[in-house]
Amino acid sequence: MGDFISSLRISASGLEAQSARMRVIAENLANADSAAKTPDADPYRRRIPTFSAVFDRELDAFNVKVGKMVLDQSEFRTKYEPGHPAANDQGFVKYPNVDSLIELADMREAQRTYEANLNVIRSSRAMYGQTLDILRG
């Protein structure tokens, strides 16, 4: 029974990690086109979640733990929009360093990993149920 519980708890930590990752990606996408407020201000900066493997002595296995959010230090995008209130002296406006294609690819990967962990939980529950049925019979 311990192996069933272990697999459930390990997969649950994976679900939590991928859920947090999807929330950050959604936030990045929601802010992808938000310009800076003033010419000298910076716009939204892309966030990247970090993860670590944490050893659980009770399970004798590693779980996934969500760490700090790291700010992507890549350059902001700029567009020539001289009439925009946030345009600098040359007429350029700073936009977030969020690439929607990268975010969508990351979202797809996070979704697939989430589904894989969910399938492990479903399979573990099914095997546990079958084991109980065998023991009862």
pLDDT band at 137 (very low <50, low <70, confident <90, very high): confident
Bridge partners, 76 (sequence order)? none
Residues 6-63 have pLDDT tens digits of 888 899 999 999 999 999 999 999 999 999 899 999 999 999 999 999 998 888 888 9
Indicate the number of domains in the chain.
1
Residues 52-73 have pLDDT tens digits of 999 988 888 889 999 999 999 9
CA 11 to CA 74: how far, in whole Å? 33
24: tokens are: 């950050």
Bridge partners, 65 (sequence order)? 52
117: tokens are: 């962990």
CA 88 to CA 85: how far, in whole Å? 9
Whether the CB-CB separation of 80 and 67 falls below 8 Å is answered with: no
Domain that holds residue 125: 2-136
